[in-house]
Structure 1
Amino acid sequence: MLDHTGIVVTDLTKARRFYDAIAEALGLATKTNSEQSFLFGRSAEEPIPYLWIGTLRPSYWVEGSRAGLNQMHIAFIADSKQMVDAFYDAALKAGGRDNGPPGPREGAGDYYGAFVLDPDGNNLEACVRGPAAR
């Protein structure tokens, strides 16, 4: 189970615009956490799990680490193919880059997903599985 994870970004304003857009497409929310960070998750009523996004350098980073150096992959659950498509469109309009357009993936069974790179190069995915993916 996931409690939380986090990524470091170089431009908080650019990142917030991007994550606000994909949050809306996925029925999720963002919330300011500090002047240097915000949270991405379900809602204030369901605060966990969440993704911490900020410009602060974590104390646990090894020397030489920086935003985007070690690409992170995060997959978000979508309720429908239409939600995956909305995620992809919102991400591209908000400054993301294509890393695999919406569609089924060979060998994944009933699966429909899309991949984008956020402004710092982290790989984000939205996917739906099962009957809703057909």
Structure 2
Amino acid sequence: MTINHVFVWASKANFQFLRSFYRAVLQPIDYVEMICASENTLIGYGSDYPYFWLKQLPDAKAPLPTHIAFDAPNQEAVDHFYQLALQHGGRGNGPPGIREEMSRQPYYAAFISDMDGNNIEIVHVPK
């Protein structure tokens, strides 16, 4: 069984910035902004279905940072994601490379922190 979708809570102060950030950095895995709902406070991203959601928190509430890992079709997509994330305001949290400690299979991943402190990983594990 797989996970159907994931929500990330975003601060009101960073919501619009995060919206454009994820629109840019999810391109290497063919995710696009698919749905904008609830008066522009809920955004769904995906390829054929909105698997990743960005939800704005009310006013002064602070988000609880989380970790999310996206599958990448190849190592080039991992590299491209990382470059885009840095160009669009993300902070490096682990450059692209093999993570031997993560799997017995070749586990090629990169990590960034978004503006609200979420640890976003993109990984390619050959099938």
Q: Which residue of 2 aligns with 1:61?
A: none
Q: What percentage of aligned pairs have identical amino acids?
A: 35
Partner Cα distance (2:27, 2:126) in 1: 23
TM-score relative to the length of structure 1 = 0.80
What are the within-5 Å matches in structure 2 for residues 45-64 of structure 1?
Answer: 46-47=48-49, 50-57=51-58
Instruction: Please say which of residues 4-13 and 80-89 is displaced more in the overlay.
Output: 4-13
Residue 111 (structure 2) pairs with residue 115 (structure 1): yes
- For these two proteins, the number of residue pairs brought into alignment is 118
1:26 and 2:29 matched: yes
Report whether the alignment pairs 1:101 with 2:91: no
Residue 4 of structure 1 deviates from its aligned partner by: 1.6
Opposite residue 30 of structure 1, the aligned amino acid is E
Find the counterpart in structure 2 of residue 60 from structure 1. none
Q: Hey, what does 1:12 align to over in structure 2? A: 15
Which of 85, 89, 92 aligns to 1:91? It is: 85
- Are the equivalent residues in 1 in contact too, given 2:100–2:106 (CA < 8 A)? no
Q: Which runs of 4+ in 1 moved over 3 A?
A: none
8 Å Cα contact 1:88/1:102 also seen in 2: yes
Q: Which amino acid in 1 is paired with 2:41?
A: Q
Counterpart Cα distance in 2 of 1:87 and 1:33: 26
Which residue of the other structure, out of 26, 36, 40, is the alignment partner of 2:41? 36
| 2:52 match: secondary structure | strand
TM-score normalised by L of structure 2: 0.84
Separation (CA, whole Å) in 2 of partners of 1:71 and 1:91: 17
